[in-house]
Chains A and B, each alone.
Chain A
């Protein structure tokens, strides 16, 4: 699986959009971009994933650049409960192996 690079930490004001970047310049054509988050002392939680088109669900939006070398996770109206470590992971379609987590981005939502 390709390697990802994320900033170690970010702040965002409550109610504003939180934009979390991820670089995956060595991504292969059959690799998806997945985002998970981990709230303190809990297991990771799936957020969203995509291949090349932008994706949106009830939790977030995922914007993938046309060359697929980077992506941005957008939490449209951040709340204090969104404070967590966010992990960007690339993974082969249908891959059955474990996920490869980096250190992620610690997002802190400020009141």
Chain B
């Protein structure tokens, strides 16, 4: 257990529905990252926050994807109008900024879109 928690761990939804995932980072970490991982591939970076500021979002897969971190603590990732291709593991990681920062990953949320 790295101290990064994600909720829910599993989500099944129907195509066209909206889903929201939550990530709680390690408390003293002010950087938070979201990744997506499809079967047989390594994690793919989506976006990251430093405190409440979203500093990179160009990697978000489409405008159906959005992320927030309103108070610089927990974060949410929302997918609107889900498609079957959105089925994947969604991973969150956090880090404390230093010269050689190490990212600590949560257990992930596995999404299945029917």
Contact = CB atoms under 8 A, between A and B. Distances in A.
A59 to B, nearest CB: 13
A102 interface: yes
Nearest to A47: B102
Interface string A79-102: 000000101000001111111111
Interface residues of B, number: 32
A32 B45 contact: no
Contacts of A96: 31, 48, 50, 55, 97, 101
B59 A98 contact: yes
A45 B110 CA distance: 18
Interface of A: 32, 34, 41-46, 49, 85, 87, 93-104
Given A44-B93, A99-B45, 14 more contacts: A32-B100, A42-B107, A43-B2, A43-B108, A46-B102, A49-B102, A85-B42, A93-B99, A97-B56, A98-B35, A98-B45, A99-B33, A101-B43, A101-B44
